Each structure stands twice: as structure tokens, then as C-alpha cells.
Amino acid sequence: MANTTPAVQMKNISKHFGRVIANSNVNLELYRGEILALLGENGSGKTTLMNMLCGLYFPDEGEILIDGKPATIASPKDSFSYGIGMVHQHFKLIDVLSAAENIVLGLDEKLDIKKSSAKIKEICDKYGFDVDPAQKIYDMSVSQKQTVEIVKVLYRGADILILDEPTAVLTPQETEKLFAVLRKMKEDNKAIIIITHKMHEVESLSDRVAVLRKGKYIGDMRTADTNAAEMTDMMVGRKVVLNIIRPEPVNPQPRILVNGLTVKSEDGITKLNNVSFTIRSGEILGIAGISGCGQKELLEAIAGLQVVESGSIEYVDDKGKREQLLGKDPKQIRDMGVSLSFVPEDRLGMGLVANMDLADNMMLRSYENGRGPFTDRKAPKKLAQSVVKDLEVVTPGINTPVRSLSGGNVQKILVGREIASAPKVLLTAYAVRGLDINASYTIYDLINEQKKAGVAVVYVGEDLDVLMELSDRILVLCGGEVSGVLDGRTADRNEVGLLMTKVGGNSDGKN
């Protein structure tokens, strides 16, 4: 490293939220011309620490030095003046404004969109971004929004960049593009901190890693000198085995028969076209496909949340009796043992009520099991306690609103509740989205346990490698059609990839 004075030095930083300690005595150093990966489990205080650098929170104790000089960062404005810019996990953009308006927001310069647009174009050309300054945010894809966020930070002349889980919502191609940009910035002698849970990204991108655990600083090391297993052990604080077991399915029986299912969106666009397959008990069926290819609609159709154009979905019980699911309402379907745990992009969008506490959220599934007009509150409370204990949810108590928990813990509660209802069929979508590596493996274990208990599991996930390791069979969707069904044990990554982008894959010899 050319420069030996750290660009950012955080000394003995502590931060409390009420009784919750988010950070205690954290020390962190960041040099120019390097990419530092900040690692830690969900709720270990990474985002809180970074929010103190960008001026949203003020540390209770400790000192921040920028280029060796003590700095007081009391507001985002202060942080800009030190050249710090942060791309937040949940984008800080205003939907009804254009890209250019969002980028100049809060600046003291004269409002001149034309001039600003020219400057935005200049930045885009330098780093190879593609942003239309006049485009409204609500018209943009997730990756476009992120680009706007990065341009916004660069527009302010930031040379210390913080990215909070930037790849959580990106496709592999978009991620590669982002990393190319980050490497270019590093060559520009900018200092970059990236928060991510994906170990292969840490290994391919970062120069150094720093690890936080439960708000405490554990240590830092050069990426080249370490490996995923060691980093995970540091994050978790004990030895973790990073293997997904795949027990042989025991006596799989058809559980749900989907035949010729066609679903159209409200605008009349075909989302699923003539989809037929079987879900079997004691087996994990993985559904692969690029995002938006119909996985969501498929699961929702089975759970009774989606209007179906044509086709049939039949449930087969233990005795072999068939029953049509179409035409039943979601509650009837749930009562038959078909459970949907869907983790949407914003986690709280579906399934949990943010302002209600843990016990009340458990009650959303059991509110009718009371005597007369009164609900039974004891059982959900017990359930909440056992979910907190079994899944190691970090929470001050079961009376805490779900809103104030960190994302991973929210997810554990959602999945835990669905599993607790002892379903016959478990539909999970993005169950590990945004979860750290340890929590992810806890969820995989939970899913495997369900499979061993004879539950028919449908698994929709973003990480293709995990999907292929976990599933017994893989159904590949492409543009709403079944592109192929593969055996999970023999499937090849390239084969799945081809099926994802083209119905029937490359087997016909043409491109």
C-alpha cells in the first residue's frame, strides 16, 4: 500500500439502541486503494457501524479519524464533506423523481438539471455506467437503481465508498459488472468498504476482510491469507461445517399434481404457460429460473393466492385420494397442509406484520383457534418462545415488534412459523435471501428435516449452487414454461444454466 495513513480510522466506537448494544469498542481501519470486506452475521452491527461513518447515527463513544485527523460526523452533510459516500442496502431514492433529481438532491449548488445531467454523463462514461438522467426511479430495475445510487455518491466527489450488501438483489451478470466498476475505482485510489454475505464475492473482490461478531470487532486479515471456512468460523465464533447434506428420499409419493397450469398477470401477460409437474413427499423439488420467469406465480397458484387461467392442481393425500385445489381459498388450502413461506424482497411485505410483536405474528396462523370470541394467546406465545430458542433469533424478547429486528432474524421467524404448523407441503421462496452464511445453513437444515419427516418441499432460491446441492429434483422454468426436469444428483451447472435461458436448452444443436 502506497499510503500508510489510513483514510478512515474508527477507534473504540460504541453505539447503543436502548438496551441493545449494536457496537462495542469497534476498531476499524481503511486505506486508500483497497477494498475492505466487512463481514458478520445478521445483526452483528455492520450496518450500524457504517451508518456512523455516513452521519446517520452518532457514536455514543469513540473517535473517527479521516486521513489521520479527528473528524466529527454529526450529519450526512458532514460525511459528504469528508468525501464519504454510502450506498445503502435499502436504496435511498425517491421514486417519483428522475435520476438526475435524485442525484443532486440535498446539494447546495444551483438547481440546473441540464448542467447536472452533463456531469452525470461524464461520470457514467468514465466508469461505464448506463444511466438516463431523465428516467424516473419507479421505471427502473433494481440494478439501475443501484447504479443511480453509486453515481449519486460519485457526483458528490466521494473517495471513500461504503456499499451495504450491494449484490443481494443483483443477477450474477450484474454483480460482475459492479465488481469491474469497483476494481476500477480501487485503481483510482479510492477506499472502498463492501458488506456482503457471499463468500466467493469476498474472495474474488476484496483485499482485506474485517470481521464483526455480536457488535464486537473480532479481527482483520488479508483475503489472500484466509479462506471461507476460517472467515465463517470467525463470524460465528465456533467451527461451522459448510456442507449441505442431501439424504436419500424415503418412499416418495406424489403429493401435488400440477397439470397444464396457465396463469396470466393482471395486464394479460402470460406468466405460466401449460406447466405440468409433480411434487412428491419426502423430496425437495428445486425450481430454477432467472428472476421473473414465473416461480412466484407458480407458488402463489398452488397456495391459492393467484387467479388461474386454466389447468388443474390436485392434492393427493396419504390414502391416494385426489382433491382439486383450484377454487379453494388460501385458508382451506392451508388447512389441508399446504404451507407457503414466501420471503419477498423487502422481507416484511408478505407473511409478517411489522408493527406486531413476535407472539402476535405467530397468531396470524392460529387466530381462529380460540373459544368463542376470544383468541388463544398462550399457544402462540409458546410457539414464539420455541422459535426464538430453536432458531437462535436475536431479540430482546417475544414482545418486541418484528419491525425492529434485523432482516435475518425476521426471516427465521417467518420460516419457523411455517414449519411449526407441521405442513404436508412446504413451499419456500427465497428463504435465505439476505441471510448470513450461518443462518442460511440453519435454514437448509430445517428444510432437510422437513424432508426427512416426509414433507413435500418446494424450494425456490437465488443461489443456483445451493439449489443444486439441496434438491432431489430440479424443475427449470424459462419464460413461464417448463424447460426441463433434472435429477439433482446428476445435474450439471451449465446444463441448468442453458435450460434457464432457453426452453429445452441447447439440445437441438442450434444456439
Partner 1 sequence: MINFVSFIPKAVVQGIPLLYGSTGEIITQKSGNLNLGIPGVMYVGAISGVIGAFNFEQAVKSYEAAHAAGGADAFLTYGVPVLSVLIPMLSCLLGSLLMGLLYCFLTVTLRANQNVTGLAMTTFGVGFGNFFGASLIKLSGADVPSIALTTTSKYFSVKLPIAETTGWFGKIFLSYGPLAYLSIIVAIAAALIIKKTRMGLHLRAVGESPATADSAGINVTLYKYGATCIGCMIAGLGGLYYVMDYATGVWSNDAFGDRGWLAIALVIFTIWKPDMSIFASILFGGLYILYLFLPINIDHMEYQQLYKMIPYVVTLVVLVITSIRNKRENQPPASLGLPYFREER
What are the residues binding partner 1 (CB under 8 A)?
Answer: 17, 54-57, 75-77, 80, 86, 88, 92-97, 101, 104-107, 110-111, 136, 138, 403-404
| Residue 86 Cβ vs partner 1, minimum distance, rounded to whole Å | 8
Instruction: Rank residues 164 and 418 by Cβ distance to partner 1 and give the closer one.
Output: 164
| Residue 201 Cβ vs partner 1, minimum distance, rounded to whole Å | 25
| Residue 406 Cβ vs partner 1, minimum distance, rounded to whole Å | 8
Q: Which cell numbers hold the place of 438?
A: 450461518
DSSP, residue by residue, 86-114 = EE-SS----TTSBHHHHHHTT--S---HH
Alpha-carbon Rg for the chain in angstroms: 24
- Tell me which H or E stretch contains 333: helix 330-335
Instruction: Rank residues 98 and 232 by Cβ distance to partner 1 and give the closer one.
Output: 98
| Residue 131 Cβ vs partner 1, minimum distance, rounded to whole Å | 17
Instruction: Rank residues 11 and 16 by Cβ distance to partner 1 and give the closer one.
Output: 16
Instruction: Rank residues 105 and 250 by Cβ distance to partner 1 and give the closer one.
Output: 105
Q: Cα–Cα distance between 505 and 499 in angstroms, integer?
A: 4
Instruction: Rank residues 153 and 316 by Cβ distance to partner 1 and give the closer one.
Output: 153
63 three-class SS:
strand
Contact 264, 270 (CB under 8 A): yes
| Residue 113 Cβ vs partner 1, minimum distance, rounded to whole Å | 10
Instruction: Rank residues 77 and 222 by Cβ distance to partner 1 and give the closer one.
Output: 77
- Tell me which H or E stretch contains 216: strand 216-222
Q: Report the half-sphere exposure of 239 (CA within 13 A, side-chain side).
A: 1
Q: Which cell numbers hold the place of 15?
A: 453505539
| Residue 15 Cβ vs partner 1, minimum distance, rounded to whole Å | 10
Kindly report the number of other CB atoms within 10 A of residue 442's CB atom. Answer: 20
| Residue 79 Cβ vs partner 1, minimum distance, rounded to whole Å | 8
Block residue for cell numbers 479527528: 70
Instruction: Rank residues 75 and 204 by Cβ distance to partner 1 and give the closer one.
Output: 75
208 three-class SS:
strand
Estimate to the nearest angstrom the gap between the alpha carbon of 256 and the chain centroid: 28
Instruction: Rank residues 55 and 351 by Cβ distance to partner 1 and give the closer one.
Output: 55
Mapping DSSP onto H, E and C, the string for 339-371 reads: EEEECCCCCCCCCCCCCCEHHHHHHCCCCCCCC
| Residue 138 Cβ vs partner 1, minimum distance, rounded to whole Å | 5
Q: Cα–Cα distance between 450 and 444 in angstroms, integer?
A: 10
Instruction: Rank residues 136 and 365 by Cβ distance to partner 1 and give the closer one.
Output: 136
| Residue 108 Cβ vs partner 1, minimum distance, rounded to whole Å | 8
DSSP, residue by residue, 260-318 = EEEEE-TTS-EEEEEEEEEEETT-EEEEE-STTSSHHHHHHHHHT-S--SEEEEEEE-T
